[in-house]
Amino acid sequence: MHAMRKRTLLSLMVLAPAVSACGFRLRGAPSFPFKSLYVQAPAGSPFTREVLRNLATAGGNLTVVLPPAKPDTAEATLHLLGESRQRVVLAKTVSGQVREVELRLTGRFKLVDRDGRVWIEDAEIQQKRDMSYSESLALAKDEEEAALYRNMYADMAQQLLRRLAAAHPPAE
């Protein structure tokens, strides 16, 4: 039994450098290439709320600047250009009742610095989720749909933060 534990320990010691060499690392606080970010976004938008929440909890040394402050008070401006939701029927029964739908969510954004240089061109982030549907369970399915949209907004905001952290100034 002792030899087996020793082999397991040795195997783990051999694998540890391989895991770190492949580029794997735990996600920590993102490091942004700017110290301050002005967020220009539609008020009351679920995408805006989720992005602001994620920026506030991202950690690091990023200062988020919001209206009524002026955009030129920050090194960069994140323009949240809008979002759209779509609900597409994927399958129906022979009697025409909906059985499966696909929920689609798209958010658009761009990143510009104080000098007007575009760091990230007008870009989109998309999320899709499939959901079964039953008219007899309509209330429960409405709640499930709302939960799926909340999850999609959270995923989109996380993707946006990763793109902001990976952004770099345009080549001169």
- The pLDDT of residue 4: 57
Instruction: Pick one of 1.10.3720.10, 3.30.160.150, 3.40.50.1820, 3.40.50.10860 as the CATH number of 30-166.
Output: 3.30.160.150
The pLDDT value given to residue 26: 47
Strand-by-strand arrangement of the 76-92 sheet = 63-65, 36-40, 76-92, 98-113, 118-132
Where do the structural domains in the chain lie, given as residue ranges? 30-166
Going from the first residue of the chain to its last (172 residues), give the mean pLDDT of each consecutive group of 10, the final group possibly shorter. 58 54 56 94 93 90 92 95 95 91 97 96 97 88 95 97 93 74
Q: DSSP character for 26?
A: -
- Give the side-chain half-sphere CA count within 13 A for 142: 5
pTM for the whole structure: 0.78
Give burial (CB, 10 Å; 0-12/13-18/19+) of 89.
Answer: exposed
Neighbours of 8 (CB within 10 A): 10
- Angle between the N-to-C axes of helices 138-166 and 46-56, in degrees from 0 to 180, rounded to the nearest 10: 50
How far apart are alpha carbons 83 and 134 in whole angstroms? 27
Closest CA to 77 of 119, 123, 126: 119
Q: How far apart are CA 118 and CA 81, in angstroms?
A: 14
